[in-house]
Chain A
Amino acid sequence: MIGRMVAIMRVSVLLHIIGAVALVALAGCGKRPVIQPEVMLAPECEILSGPAKFADSVRVALLDKVRPEHAPWARSASEQLLFRHLYETLITIDCLGEVQTGLAGSWNSGEGGRRWTFELREGAEFWDGTPVTARDVARSWQHTVSEPMTQGAGIDSVTVVGDRILHVYLTRPHRRIPRALSAPAFAVAKSSEHSHWPLGTGPYRVVPWGRWSVGMSRRTITAHPAFGMDGPVIKFVEATTYDERDLLEGVIDVMVTADPAVIEYAASRPQLSTIALPWDRTYVLLSISRIEKLRWGSTLGTFSSDLSDRLARDAVRGAARGYRPPSWWDDLSRCGDLFAAVPLFPPIPRYVYSSSGLHRILYDVNDPIARDLAERIVALAATDPFVSPEAAAIASAVPGLISDTAGIAAEGVTRSERDLSLRHGDDFAYVIPIPRRPPDPCHEAHKLVIRAQWLSTFKVDLSKALIPLVDTRLHVIVNRSKVGLIVDWYGNILIANEMLLGR
C-alpha cells in the first residue's frame, strides 16, 4: 500500500515537474528576451488599482487634436497624455518626487557635479527592435539642447562615449541628478522612414506604425504594450467634436478633464470613478505696470489667501483652489543670475511707450480658467474698491488697473499670439499658467524669463513680480473595472501595464 502510494507520489511529482518545465517552456515562447527596466513604483503613485487581469483594451479620450510630427514634444494636454505612454526620458520622477530610472539604467557624476554620465539600460531598444544608443539620445536632444527655453536646464553639451554611455555636461554643478532631464522635452525618439510616428522606447508603442485607423467617425491610435509586456491595448480616441458626457456613456474608459460639469456628471455614473490629480498649475497675473513700479522700489500688495480662495470658488468654473504658498519662485537664489541668458540689451516692453487707450489683459482663448480669471480682474477694475476687498486688493497689486482715461478689457487670443505679445510686452497684463511643481525651479524660472524677456529689463524678483491667483488640477474619470492608473510628478497619468507596475 505504502509502496503504491509512494509510486503514485513519485509519478505525481514527476508529472508536476514535467508540467512546471512545460509551463516554463511555454512561458518562454513568444516573449522577447528583453531586460526590463527596474521600476520601483511607490504605492502612492498607483492612484487606481486595476483589475487583477489586464483588460484586453482600454479606450482613452483625446480631447485635443494630436499630430505625429509634434512627437515627442507635446503641445497640448492630449499630446502630453499620449506621448507620455510612447516616449521615455533618461530618468523619471514619480509622484513623490523620487527619481526613478527611465531609459537610463544607471548614472554617476564627475567633475564636481558638472558632468553626469548615463548608461542606457541594457537591452533598451526602439519599437522596431533596434537598440537605443547613446548617439540616438544625443541626436534626439539636439533640437532641445539648442533651444533657449531649455538652456535653463543647465545643459552645456552632450558627449557620446560609447554605444550606451554618454556624458552630459552642465553649465553649473549639480549635487544631485538634474531633474530637468525628466522633462518631456528630453524624451528620446528616433525618426523612421516607415512611420509618421518617431520610434520610441516607452511602455507602449504605436501599432501599426504611422497609421490612423478611422472607425465610427473617430480617429484612433492603437498602442500596444511594448517589449511584449502584459497590459491592455490602449486605443487613444480623438474625440474633439464630442460632448464629453456622451463619451462617458461607455464610449471611453479614461478621460482627463477639468470641466466641472463633466466631473459632476461622472459622479453620477456608478461604473466611473473620478480621481483628482495633483495640483499641477498655478495661474498668475503678470503685469508690466506692477513690475515697472517694483523696479523703482514701490511696495505693492498682492492677493491674500482668503481672496485667492474666493477667486477660486467664485470666479473659476473649474477645479481650482486658492493659491497655496510656498511656491518654487519664492526663493531662486541658488539659480544664479536668471537674467544672464537674455540678450545684452533686453527689450523694453512695448506697452510702456504705446499710446493705446485700452488696457488689455490677454489669455489663451482655449484656456477657460485663464479666461475666468482675466474677466474677473476686468470686473474688479470697474468695482468700487471701497466696497469690495477684492477690488481693493487688485487695485493695490496692479497699478493702472483702475484708470479714468483708459478702458480695460479681457481678450482671448491664440497661444502663439499671447506668447508673442508676452515676449514683447505689448499688453497691460497676462494671465498665464505656470507649473506648480517643476522638476527644476531654476529651469522653470529661466523659461519664464525667456518667454518674457522684458523681465530682464526690470530685473525684479519673480516672487514679487508674479501675482499668484489660483491653483488648478485635472481630474481623471475612469472605468475602474478595466484600468489601473499611475501618476507621475508632472501629473501625467499612465495606463498601468506590466512594465510600469514593475511586475
Chain B
Amino acid sequence: MTFRTRLLIIFLLAVLVPMIVLALFIRDEMTERLAAQYERRVESLVAVIEEDLAQEGDAIATALGVLRKAVVNDNRFRRAAVDRVLEERRYLLDYAGNAMQLTGLSMLQIQDEAGRIISSGHFRNEYDRLEPELPKLLSSTPEGIAIVQARAPDAPFLALARADSFQMGNRTFTIVAGVKVERRFLTRLAREAELQVALIYPGGMLAPGTDRSKSGVDGTRSGIVESRDRDTVRAVDVPPSGTDVTHKTVPTHDIDVPQSETEVQRDRAPARAIVRELRVPFIDSERGELAYAKFRVTHQLTELQSLRSSIDRWFLVAVAAAGILAVMLVGWLASRISRPLETGRRDEIGALSRLLGAMTERLRASAVRIKDAERRATIGELARQVNHDIKNGLTPIRNVFRHLVQLAQNNPNQLPDVFQEREGTLDSSISYLEDLASNYARLYPRTERRPIDVNEIARQLVMDLQGSGHVDLRMNLGDGIVVLGDPVALRRILENLVSNAIDSLGSRPGRVTISTALVSGEGDRSRVRITVSDTGIGMSEEQRAKVFDDFYTTKDGGTGLGLSIVRRLVMDLDGSINVESVEGKGSRFIIDLPGSGAARPDSGG
C-alpha cells in the first residue's frame, strides 16, 4: 500500500466517520423531538376540542334558554300548542323554523310530552312524527349533549344537540336544538392545515375531503393515513365518568378502514401520522339507543418525512463532497511530500537545494561517464590486444603469399620449390593464431581443479553479506556438496549471482536463498545443483533470453559482463547454468556441476 493510499484512508476515516455519526445522531434526535412536539400538539388539540365541544354545548344551552323564555311568553304558541286553536296551527308549525334562523341553530324541534313533534325547524313538515326517545337519551348523556342524526327532507345530517323542556299550561314540552356537524365544523375544530379532525360514528364517517356515507349502507371511506405502528392505531377512550384522556391501542380492523387503504398503510414505514381520539355520545336514531362516536385527531407527519428526506439528501451530498475533497487533498499532499526541493527559493534552503541539486547532477554525470569510460577502456584495451595479436599472426602469412605471387609472375618454374621452403612459416603462423584464439576463448588462464566444499563457500558469502538491511539471506544446504574446481571461480560465481539477486530486490524488502543439493546425473556420478533464488522483480522472456549475453545489462551503469563471466566460469567447471524467472515475482539461477566424490574438499579460503 503506498503512502498516498494510507494517507487517503486515514483522512477519510478521520473526516467521514465523525460526519456520519453526527448526521445520524442529528436525524434521529430531530425525528424524536419533532414527533414528540407533534404528539403534544395533538394532545393539546384534543383538549381544545373537548373545550370547543363544551363551549358549543354551552352556546346551545344558552340558545335553548332564550328560546324557552320566548316560547313561554308567546301567546300565539300557547293558543296553538295548549289551546289547540286551529287558526294558529300554521304559526305553530312555522315557529321552530323562524326561531332556528333567529338563534343561528341548525336543528330545532319542539315535542310534546308524548314525543310528538309539533314544530320542526330543520324539517318543517315532519310534524306529528313521534320521537320520544331523543330527548330522553340526550338527557341521559354525561353532559346532556350528544351527536344526533337529524332527519331532513333530502338527507339526514349530524348535529351536536342538547335538550331542554318547559311547562306551558298543564303540558310539558321539550325542545331539542343543535348545530350541524359537517366538514366545516370539523375544519374549524382542526384549526391548522396539518391537523385533521374526523368524526367516526356508527355507520359512517365524516372527514374533510371525504364523502359522508349513508348510514349503514355504503360503508366508509377513510380519511386516515396513519399509524404509528404498522398494524395498530392509537385510540383514546373516554371513561364513562368523565372526559379524561387515556391511550388504548386497538387493531385497525376495528376501525372502518377500507382494506386497500390499510394495505397501503402497512406497506409504508415509518409512521405517517399521529392519532388521538375523543369519544362523544352518539344517539342512533335508527335504533333509538345511545352509542358512541369518536372525534379522531390526526397530525400528518408529511412535514417531518420531507424534512428527514431533505436531511438525508444533504447528508449524502456532504459525504460525497467530503470524499472528493479528501481525495484531492491527499493527492496534492502526497505529491507535495515527494516533490524535489524547490530551487526557486531565494533563501538558504533554496541555495542549499540548488547546491545539492547541482552536486547530485555532477555526481550522476560523473558516474555515468566513469562507467562509460570503463566500459570503453575495457573494450578498447581488449580490442587493441586482439588487434595486435592477430596482426602478429597474419603478417608472416601475408609475406609468404606476396613472395609466392611475385614468383608466380616472374619465375613460375621456381614456385614449387619456394612454396616447399616457406610452408613451415605458414604452419607456424597458423598455429600461432589457433593458440591465440584458444587463449582468448578463456579470459582467464587455466587453473588447477581441486575438491571444493560448496556449502562452506556459501556460508562465508552469506556471512560477508549479512547486514544488507532489507534483504533476507537464507541458505538451504544439502549434505556432501563437493565439486572439483577453482574455489575462487566458484566464489565469484556465487558472488555474482547473489549480488544480482540483491539488486533485483531494489529497495523493497525481499528474500535471497542459496540452495545446494545433490541430484542424480549421467551414469554413477551425481551432480551438484546450486540454486540462487530471489523475490525480486524478475525478468521478462526477452530479458531471460539475453541475460548471459556479453555486454547485456538492465542496470544503469552496468557492464553487462557479470553473467557472461559467470557462465564461462560455470562452463570452465564443466557445468551448466539456467535461469527461471517470473516477471514481478522473482528469478532462480540453477547451476549444475559435476560432483567430485573426493575426500576433504577445499573451502576456497
Contacts and interface: CB of A to CB of B under 8 A. Distances in A.
A-B interaction: yes
Interface of A: 313-315, 317, 357-358, 371-372, 374-376, 378-379, 382-384, 387-388, 390, 407, 409-411
B214 A374 contact: no
Interface of chain B: mostly helix, strand, loop or mixed: loop
B126 A379 contact: yes
Contacts of A384: 129-130
Contacts of B90: 313-314, 317
A390 B128 CA distance: 10
Contacts of A387: 130
B123 A375 contact: yes
Contacts of A357: 214, 217
Can you list the 4 inter-chain pairs with the closest CB atoms, starting with the nearest? A379-B126, A376-B125, A375-B153, A410-B153
B127 A379 contact: yes
A382 B89 CA distance: 21
Contacts of B522: none
Given A314-B89, A314-B127, A378 B214 contact: no
B154 interface: yes
B256 interface: no
Given A314-B89, A375-B153, A409-B154, A383 B130 contact: yes
Nearest to B152: A409
Interface in B105-125: 123-125
Nearest to A377: B125
Interface string B324-363: 0000000000000000000000000000000000000000
Given A314-B89, A375-B123, A407-B214, A383 B129 contact: yes
Interface in B145-159: 151, 153-155
A365 B89 CA distance: 26
Contacts, number: 57
Contacts of A317: 90, 94, 124
Given A375-B123, A382-B151, 19 more contacts: A314-B93, A314-B127, A315-B125, A317-B124, A371-B153, A372-B125, A375-B126, A378-B125, A378-B153, A379-B125, A379-B126, A379-B129, A379-B151, A379-B153, A383-B126, A388-B129, A407-B217, A409-B153, A411-B154
Contacts of A410: 153-154
B584 to A, nearest CB: 86
Contact of B128 (A313, A372, A383): A383
A375 B125 contact: yes
A313 B214 CA distance: 33
25 contacts: A313-B90, A314-B89, A314-B125, A314-B127, A315-B125, A317-B124, A371-B153, A372-B124, A372-B125, A375-B124, A375-B153, A376-B125, A378-B125, A378-B126, A378-B153, A379-B123, A379-B127, A379-B153, A382-B126, A382-B151, A383-B130, A384-B129, A407-B155, A407-B217, A410-B154
B203 to A, nearest CB: 12
B156 to A, nearest CB: 8
Interface in B74-123: 86, 89-90, 93-94, 123
A422 to B, nearest CB: 19
Interface string B127-171: 111100000000000000000000101110000000000000000
A313 B89 contact: yes
Given A314-B90, A317-B94, A409 B125 contact: no
A409 B152 CA distance: 8
A303 B214 CA distance: 31
Nearest to A311: B125
Task: From B89, B125, B126, B128, name the one whose CB has the most chain A CB atoms within 10 angstroms.
Answer: B125
Contacts of A382: 126, 129, 151
Nearest to A378: B153
A357 B129 CA distance: 23
A419 B93 CA distance: 31
A271 to B, nearest CB: 26
Contacts of A372: 124-125
B320 to A, nearest CB: 60
A384 B116 CA distance: 11
Interface string B55-91: 0000000000000000000000000000000100110
Contacts of B130: 383-384, 387
Contacts of B124: 317, 372, 375
Task: From B90, B153, B154, name the one whose CB has the most chain A CB atoms within 10 angstroms.
Answer: B153
A60 B123 CA distance: 35
A411 B90 CA distance: 23
Contacts of A313: 86, 89-90
A321 to B, nearest CB: 14
Interface in B163-220: 214, 217
Nearest to A260: B90
Nearest to A373: B125
Contacts of B123: 375, 379
A311 to B, nearest CB: 10
A379 B118 CA distance: 13
A371 B153 CA distance: 9
